[in-house]
Amino acid sequence: MEGMNNVSDETGTATKGAQVTEGKQWEPNIVAFLCRWCSYAGADLAGGSRIKYPPNVRIIRLPCSARIDPKLVWRALEQGADGVLVSGCHPGDCHYTSGNMYARRRMQMFYELLTFLGVEPGRIQMSWVSASEGQKWAQVVSSVTEDVRKLGPAKFV
Amino acid sequence: MEEITKKIQDEARKLLTEGRVRAVVGYRRGWSSEVATPCFVTTEGGTDRLLYDASCRHNLAKYLVGREGLFKFAPTEEEENLPVAIVARPETQRTLVAMIKEKRFVRSDLIVLAINDGSQAGLEPDMEVGRIEADNKGREELQAKIEALDAMEPSERWEFWKEELSKCIRCYACRQVCPFCYCERCIADENQPQWIKKAPTTLSNVSWNIVRAYHLTGRCTECGECERACPMDIPLSLLNTKLAMSVEDAFGYRAGIDAEALPPMFEFREDDNDEFIL
């Protein structure tokens, strides 16, 4: 029953989401929830500008960082993601005036809860990336990927 | 304790005789001499059943809200506009304050028969029916346990919670007893999409408990009813108190202490903590 959610082999490396085939080195699998106005556009700019960044991140676009319900974050981890990145507009830049400010409080308290439950702090991270910050997006992804790589595969079963 | 019982009975009798309330919510003797159970008195004759002793720990605010609560959303009959009297322990008083803030009812809907222990609540009781000793030891013990857990490695904490939460049988007693779980339809009962799997596997138990604890962020008044109701003795108060402590550290807010302040998840400040953000 336990294995239904998260198919793992004996070493705990092959998770459902990571799709790691045998013999290949483990690569962190990171889910990124981005607000469509700033961070998604920033990631788009990074792509358009051909800035190189690690391919470990799977992007999910949402209307606003305030739409990033903490249960989405936990669902990603539950389904086998090794890390989650949450990103929105800089304070004051929110398309909906203040969505990112609510998101900041929510995520702060959600970190506290997950950390208390034993999720390593680096697995969930939050960033502000604006539509013009393609370079920053690449840096954020690199640093998050490195952090998650150091932590190793998530084993939440 | 007997004086408190007598005072509650006298006040209840007076209120009901004068027709000032439609019901009195209090405690009565349960199935054994060591167990109390909530009771609802609507006639003068029923007031003899009311009592108060050390076994009366229930958070009676639960019986005011929700589908079966005494306060329906749109009262129609004339009688429904009469207030309800409630015997309120200190944590119940804090719960009432938080509920008024969440617009479940208004202060004038209530007549609060307060049992105080000297702790602060953002509510002026209509009358004090008794005084009890403050139970500071309980929270201090919890805080010590939380500090011990915080000092552990994350993997050790995960092992601890895995062990505890694997016991969960998903009876949802914690939800049914919680005064703040008054949603008409709980996310745990939803099938499409099914955010929380129904089978009581360890991982889905963690999901359920994350949702339960997180929904109480900045709302939980730490009455401890969830832990008392839990048939598997899962230390749910640890999660609730940890979040309450985090909220207090981060936003300087404690639920039910101040009748004016907005709950922390309902508002924001420009200069909220930004340190954890890349």
Q: Which residues pair with B87 in a beta bridge?
A: B113
| Of residues A80, A85, A76, A36, the one with CA closest to residue A57 | A85
Q: Tokens standing for A102? A: 């609510």
Residue B139: the pLDDT is 84
DSSP for chain A reads -GGGTS---TTS---TTT-PPTTSPP---EEEEEETTTHHHHHHHHHHTT----TTEEEEEES-GGG--HHHHHHHHHTT-SEEEEEEPPTT--TTSSHHHHHHHHHHHHHHHHHHHT--GGGEEEEE--TT-HHHHHHHHHHHHHHHHHH-S----
For residue A12, pLDDT over 60 is answered with no
ipTM of the complex: 0.88
B247 interaction partners in chain A (CB closer than 8 Å): 109
Q: What mean pLDDT comes out for the span B43-69? A: 89
Q: Which domain holds residue B68?
A: 2-131
Contact between B263 and A125 under an 8 Å Cβ cutoff? The reply is: no
Whether B150 sits inside 8 A of A116 (CB atoms) is yes
DSSP character string of A37-59: TTHHHHHHHHHHTT----TTEEE
pLDDT at B136: 80
Say if CB B48 and CB B57 are below 8 A apart: no
Mean pLDDT of chain A: 85
B44 in helix, strand or coil?
helix
pLDDT of residue B278: 84
* Average pLDDT, integer, range A94-111: 92
Q: Do B272 and A144 touch (CB under 8 A)?
A: no
In whole angstroms, give the CA distance from residue B42 to residue B25.
9
B77 vs B28 pLDDT, higher one: B28
Give me the pLDDT at residue B40, please: 92
Q: With CA atoms as reference, report the closest residue to A43 among A104, A129, A103.
A: A129
Write out the DSSP string of B158-208.
Answer: HHHHHHHHTT-----HHHHH-TT---SS-GGG--SS-SS-SS--HHHHHHH
Quote the CA–CA distance of B213 and A113 in Å, as a whole number.
8
- Can you give the C-alpha Rg of chain B in angstroms? 20
Which residue segment(s) compose the domain that A108 sits in? 27-151
Considering its fold, how many domains does chain A have in total? 1
Contact B82, B42 (CB under 8 A): no
Which whole-number Å values give the CA distances from A80 to A70, B33, B188, in the listed order? 16, 51, 21
Interface of A with B in 98-117 (CB under 8 A): 98, 101-102, 104-106, 108-117
Minimal CA separation from A149 to chain B, in Å? 16
The answer to whether A127 contacts B277, with C-beta atoms less than 8 Å apart, is yes
Give pLDDT, residue A43: 94
Q: Is the pLDDT of residue A14 over 60?
A: no
Please give the pLDDT value at position B72: 65
Cross-chain Cβ contact B268/A6 below 8 Å: no
Are residues B278 and A144, on separate chains, in Cβ contact within 8 Å? yes
Contact B154, A119 (CB under 8 A): yes
- For residues B8 and B119, membership in a common domain is answered with yes
Q: Is the pLDDT of residue A107 over 90?
A: yes
Domain-embedded: residue A122 = yes
Characterize the bridge pairing of strands A83-88 and A57-62: unpaired
Q: What is the pLDDT of residue B80?
A: 61
The answer to whether position A17 is within a domain reads no
**CATH assignment at residue A83:** 3.40.50.960
| Confidence band, pLDDT 50/70/90 cuts, at residue A13 | very low
Do residues A154 and A123 touch, judged by C-beta distance below 8 A? Answer: yes
As beta bridge partners, residue B183 has none
Asked if residue B274 belongs to a domain, the reply is no
Residues B143, B235: one domain? yes
Q: Which of A113, A120, A126 sits opposite B213 (nearest CB)?
A: A113
Q: Quote the pLDDT of residue B73.
A: 54
The residue among B131, B154, B189 that closes a domain is: B131
Which of A105, A110, A115 has its CB closest to that of B214? A110
pLDDT value at position A11? Answer: 40
Residue A66, pLDDT > 90, answer yes
What confidence score (pLDDT) does residue B78 get? 60
Q: Which of B88, B116, B131 is the last residue of a domain?
A: B131
Q: Please give the Cα distance from B253 to B265 (Å, whole number).
A: 10
Determine, yes or no, domain membership for B73: yes
Domain stops at, among B87, B106, B131: B131
The answer to whether B232 and B184 have CB atoms below 8 angstroms apart is no
Does residue B79 form part of some domain?
yes
Residue B109: the pLDDT is 87
* pLDDT beyond 90 at B75: no
Please tell me the predicted confidence (pLDDT) of residue A49. 93
**B30 Cβ contact partners less than 8 Å away, ≥ 6 residues apart:** B36, B37, B55
Same-domain check for residues B75 and B158: no
Question: Tokens for B69?
Answer: 């609560």
Domain membership flag for residue B276: no
In a domain, A7, yes or no: no
Q: How far apart are the first and last CA of chain A?
A: 11
User: Closest to A127 (Cβ–Cβ): which among B247, B268, B278?
Assistant: B278
d(CA A119, CA A142): 21
Q: What distance in Å separates the CA atoms of residue A91 and residue B274, rounded to the nearest whole number?
A: 10
Encode pLDDT of B158-199 as tens digits: 999 999 999 999 999 999 999 999 888 889 998 888 899 999
Q: Could you tell me the pLDDT band of residue B8, with boundaries at 50, 70 and 90?
A: very high
What pLDDT, in 10s, does the model give residues B233-256?
999 999 999 999 999 999 999 998
Cα atoms found within 13 Å of the Cα of residue B241, Cβ hemisphere only: 22
B156 → chain A, closest CA residue: A118
B8-25 as b/e: b if 16+ CB within 10 A: bbebbbebbeeeebbbbb
Per residue in A15-63, pLDDT tens?
Answer: 444 455 566 788 999 999 999 999 999 999 999 999 999 999 999 999 9
**B178-206 in b/e burial notation, b at 16+ Cβ within 10 A?**
bbbbbeeebebeeeeeebbbeebbbbbbb
Instruction: State the Cα–Cα distance between residues B145 and B108, nearest whole angstrom.
Output: 40
Name chain B contacts of A117, Cβ cutoff 8 Å: 157-158, 161, 206, 210, 239
CB pairs under 8 A between A and B: 115
User: pLDDT class for A134, splitting at 50, 70, 90?
Assistant: very high
Of the pLDDT bands very low, low, confident and very high (cuts 50, 70, 90), residue B74 is low
Same domain, B106 and B151: no
B84-125: pLDDT as tens digits: 999 999 999 999 999 999 888 888 889 999 998 888 888 888
The domain total for chain B is 2
Does the pLDDT value for residue B68 go beyond 80?
no
Q: Answer whether A39 touches B (CB < 8 Å).
A: no
As beta bridge partners, residue B40 has B25
Predicted pLDDT of residue A3: 40
pTM assigned to the model: 0.87
B101 to A37, B2, B44, B219, B241: CA distances (angstroms): 33, 34, 32, 10, 20
pLDDT, residue A22, reads 60
